[in-house]
C-alpha cells in the first residue's frame, strides 16, 4: 500500500468547502437506495466541482454505493476528498475499542474501493464515555501513521458534548482533534453551533463542518411525518408542528411570488445555513480555504436524493460565494438552469433570507427555537456493552 502518512498541509488547506453527504444513500431516507440515481448524483457532483464526500458504515449500503459510484466515475483518487466514520455499529450499539475501530476502517477501505481515507470521524461520540473517545482517536492516529488515513475527527449531535470532548482530547493527548462534524445545530431552527464556535477554536480544532442543514428532513415542505423519517426521526410532535407551520409560510409566499424566486422552505433553510456558517466559521478560524487559498469559509455537508436537488443546492452555494466575493465554477455547468448573479444581487438575496428567517420564521418556532432533543435518550443503554 502506498504511504499517505505525511500531512504537509493542515486540514483547512485541503478540505473542500462543500461536501456531498451520503446518509441519504440509505433506507432511512429512501425506500430502495440501490434504485436511486446514486451514480449520476456522484458524477454530477464531481462535474460541478463538489469534490468532497461524507459517508459512514452506519448508513446502510452508503459506503458500498459511494465506492462503486466513485470508481465508475473514473475520477482520479487524488481529485476528491473522502471521509467516513467508525464506532457506531447500529442504532443502539457502539464499539469504540481500538480493535473495532481499526477493523471498521479497514472494512471501509474495501467498501469505498480506496487505499486510503482522507478523514475518519468517531461517529456520534456522545453515546460513549470520554475515555472511549480518546481510545478511538488514538487508534485512528495509529492508522494515520500507517498511511491508512490522514486526519481524525469526532462527530455527534449535542454541541456542548462535542466541545467538551474536543477539550478532553487536547488535554489528554496533547494534540487537538483535526475536525468536528456537527449536525442539526446550524439551521433555520437551531443556531447553537454559532454560539459554540469560540470554544471549538480554543480547543484547537482545525475545522468544524456543519451537516444536516434541513435537520434530517424536518425543515422540508413534506416534513418528517410523510416519509421514511416518520419511523425514526427524534423530533417531538410540537417541534414538527411549528416546523410545518414555517414550511407553510414559505409555500404561501412562493405561490404568491414573494419568496425571492425560491420554491419553499428547503431553499430558504439551505441558503440561511450555508451563509451563516460560511461566515461564522471563517470568523473563528474554523473554516476551510476556498478560492486558491485566499478566502476561508465554513464547510457544509449536504445530502440529496436527486440530481435536481444537487443542482439547486449548488446554485445556492455559488450565490453564497458570490456574496462573499469568492470565485467558483461557472454557472454554465448547469446548462441554463441558473444564471450568473452579481455579488450585489447575491448579497441582497442573503439579506432577504435573513430577514425572513429572523423576523418571520423565528417567531413561528417560538420556544422551540434553538431546541435540541436529548441524545442519547435518558436511560439509553449500549447494547454492545451488556
Q: Which residues are catalytic?
A: 59
Q: Cα(338)–Cα(166) distance, rounded to whole angstroms?
A: 40
Query: CA-CA distance, 311 to 272, in Å (whole number)?
Result: 17
Kindly tell me the burial class for residue 278, based on how many C-beta atoms sit within 10 Å of its own C-beta (0-12, 13-18, 19 or more). Answer: buried
Query: How many CB atoms within 10 Å of residue 352?
Result: 16
Q: What is the dihedral of CA 275, 301, 167, 175, to 10 degrees?
A: -110
Helical segments of the chain, H only = 38-47, 62-73, 98-112, 130-146, 159-173, 192-202, 237-255, 265-283, 307-324, 343-355, 362-365
Q: How far is residue 253's CA from residue 181's CA, in Å, rounded to a whole number?
A: 33
CB atoms within 10 A of CB 43: 18
Whole-number Å distance between alpha carbons of 35 and 57: 19
Q: Residue 184: left (phi > 0), alpha (psi -120 to 50), or beta?
A: left
What angle (nearest 5°) sits at the alpha carbon of residue 150, between those of residues 147 and 151? 145
Helix (H, G, I), strand (E, B), or coil: what is residue 209? Answer: strand
Calpha distance 95→212 (Å, rounded): 24
The C-alpha cell 469504540 sits at 96
Which element (helix H / strand E) includes 303?
Answer: strand 300-303
**Which residues in 28-40 are b (16+ Cβ under 10 Å) and which e?**
bbbeebeebebbe
Amino acid at each position: 500500500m502506498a504511504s499517505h502518512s505525511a500531512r504537509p498541509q493542515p486540514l483547512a488547506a485541503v478540505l473542500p468547502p462543500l461536501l456531498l453527504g451520503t446518509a441519504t444513500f440509505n433506507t432511512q431516507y429512501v425506500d430502495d437506495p440501490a434504485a436511486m440515481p446514486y451514480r449520476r448524483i456522484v458524477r454530477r457532483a464531481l462535474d460541478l466541482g463538489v469534490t468532497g464526500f461524507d459517508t459512514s458504515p452506519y448508513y446502510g449500503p452508503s459506503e458500498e454505493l459511494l465506492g462503486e459510484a466513485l470508481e465508475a466515475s473514473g475520477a482520479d483518487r487524488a481529485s476528491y476528498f473522502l471521509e467516513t466514520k467508525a464506532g457506531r455499529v447500529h442504532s443502539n450499539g457502539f464499539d469504540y475499542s481500538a480493535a473495532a475501530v481499526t477493523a471498521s476502517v479497514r472494512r471501509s477501505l474495501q467498501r469505498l474501493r480506496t487505499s486510503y481515507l482522507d478523514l475518519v470521524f468517531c461517529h456520534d461520540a456522545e453515546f460513549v464515555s470520554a475515555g472511549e473517545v480518546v481510545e478511538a482517536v488514538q487508534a485512528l492516529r495509529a492508522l494515520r501513521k500507517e498511511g491508512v488515513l490522514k486526519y481524525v475527527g469526532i462527530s455527534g449531535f449535542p454541541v456542548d458534548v462535542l466541545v467538551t470532548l474536543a477539550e478532553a482530547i487536547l488535554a489528554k493527548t496533547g494534540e487537538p482533534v483535526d475536525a468536528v462534524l456537527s449536525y442539526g445545530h446550524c439551521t433555520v431552527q437551531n443556531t447553537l453551533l454559532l454560539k459554540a464556535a469560540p470554544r471549538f477554536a480554543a480547543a484547537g480544532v482545525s475545522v468544524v463542518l456543519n451537516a444536516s442543514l434541513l435537520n434530517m428532513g424536518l425543515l422540508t415542505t413534506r416534513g418528517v411525518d410523510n416519509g421514511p423519517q416518520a419511523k425514526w426521526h427524534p423530533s417531538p410532535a410540537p417541534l414538527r408542528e411549528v416546523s410545518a407551520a414555517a414550511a407553510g409560510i414559505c409555500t404561501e409566499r412562493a405561490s404568491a411570488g414573494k419568496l425571492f424566486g425560491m420554491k419553499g422552505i428547503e431553499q430558504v433553510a439551505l441558503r440561511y445555513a450555508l451563509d451563516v456558517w460560511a461566515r461564522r466559521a471563517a470568523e473563528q478560524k474554523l473554516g476551510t480555504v476556498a478560492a486558491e487559498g485566499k478566502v476561508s469559509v465554513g464547510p457544509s455537508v449536504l445530502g440529496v436524493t436527486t440530481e435536481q436537488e444537487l443542482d439547486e443546492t449548488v446554485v445556492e452555494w455559488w450565490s453564497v460565494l458570490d456574496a462573499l466575493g469568492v470565485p467558483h465554477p461557472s454557472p454554465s455547468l448547469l446548462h441554463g438552469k441558473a444564471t450568473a448573479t452579481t455579488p450585489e444581487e447575491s448579497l441582497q438575496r442573503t439579506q432577504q433570507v435573513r430577514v425572513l428567517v429572523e423576523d418571520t420564521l423565528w417567531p413561528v418556532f417560538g420556544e422551540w427555537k434553538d431546541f435540541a432533543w436529548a441524545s442519547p435518550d435518558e436511560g439509553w443503554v449500549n447494547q454492545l456493552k451488556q
